[in-house]
Amino acid sequence: MRGVLLDVNETLLDLDGLQPAFDRLGIPDGRALWFARTLRNGFALAAAGDYRSFADVARASLVSLDPIRLKPTDADPLLDAFAGLPLHPDVEPGLRTLADAGIPALTLTLGSAQTVAAIFDAHGLSDLVTGHLSVDEIGRWKPAPAPYLAGCLALGLAPADVTMVAAHSWDLHGARRAGLRTAWVSRLEHIRPDIFAPADIDGPDLITVVDRLLETS
């Protein structure tokens, strides 16, 4: 392993911080379904060869929860809330271990690279990564191969020398198909769906995953 790509939503960011936005919208139980529909709709567009930004898909997915009452602009406070989301507590020590080992890391997000950069700046962690890449710059959602390959290109490394770290099995399956090594942070799913390829490395948090990556690199 000579470089790492990092998924952002749920791998680094704790999306529980979005709950107040759903409470204010009057749909306190809607967060999980909204995120699932956002992913489903983005994946469907990608499968059809089309592309819309995460923000566009998120707005449409929110309206689908209550199309009589909700409108696309109701998603704006929700999308703005991403910039204030907390990082999981294992993220900073995990990233510092990677940086101390001289392994370059790049975030690869379905959302806004500018938002991710602002979050890293706010936490004083910008020096721990080489940069932030959004699928907006590629025009294809993960898990299509193009975003992973673009991430490898940004790192200046061949896919076989890069490990994708993510909490979602579908994300790692896409990375594996693109030729990358994979590492699963299992705190979200706990059990990997057997329809997806197993990860090369797994652990309950980023600290454990990074330690195991360095042991095997």
pLDDT for the residue 173: 97
Task: Write the CATH number for 10.
Answer: 3.40.50.1000
Q: What is the pLDDT of residue 76?
A: 94
Query: Is residue 106 a contact partner of residue 3, using CB atoms and an 8 Å limit?
Result: yes
Name the helix (H) or strand (E) containing 166: strand 162-166
The residue among 83, 108, 142 that closes a domain is: 83
212 in the same domain as 170: yes
Q: What was the pLDDT predicted at 44?
A: 95
Choosing from 37, 59, 83, the residue where a domain stops is 83
How is the beta sheet containing 201-203 ordered, strand by strand?
Answer: 131-134, 105-109, 3-6, 162-166, 181-185, 201-203
Q: Are residues 76 and 93 in the same domain?
A: no
162 and 128 part of one domain: yes
Q: Quote the pLDDT of residue 17.
A: 93
Boundary-marking domain end, from 63, 83, 103:
83
Rounded-to-integer distance, Cα 192 and Cα 199, Å:
9
pLDDT (0 to 100) of residue 3:
97
Task: Report the residue count for the chain.
Answer: 217
Query: Which pLDDT score, from 0 to 100, does residue 192 have?
Result: 86
Q: State whether 120 and 149 are in the same domain.
A: yes
96 plus 78 within the same structural domain = no
**Cβ atoms < 10 Å from Cβ of 29:** 9
Q: Are residues 63 and 148 in the same domain?
A: no
Together in a domain, 58 and 150: no
Tokens of 56: 């566009």
User: Integer distance in angstroms from the first to the last C-alpha of the chain?
Assistant: 5
Number of domains in the chain: 2
CATH code (residue 33): 1.10.150.240
Phi, psi of 126 (to 5 degrees): -60, -30
Joined tokens for residue 13: 């960011």
**pLDDT digit string (tens) for 47-73?**
999 999 999 999 999 999 999 999 999
Structure confidence at residue 1 as a pLDDT band (50, 70, 90): confident
- 133 has a pLDDT exceeding 90: yes
Range of the domain at 67: 15-83
Taking only the tens place, the pLDDT of each residue in 83-105 is 999 999 999 999 999 999 999 99
**pLDDT tens per residue, range 96-130:** 999 999 999 999 999 999 999 999 999 999 999 99
119 shares its domain with 19? no
Other C-beta atoms lying within 10 Å of the C-beta of residue 193:
9
Half-sphere exposure (CA, 13 Å, Cβ side) for 187? 20
- The overall average pLDDT reported for the chain is 95
Same domain for 52 and 10: no
Q: The pTM is what?
A: 0.94
Same-domain check for residues 38 and 123? no
Residue 124 to residue 203: CA distance in whole angstroms: 25
144/140 Cα distance (integer angstroms): 7
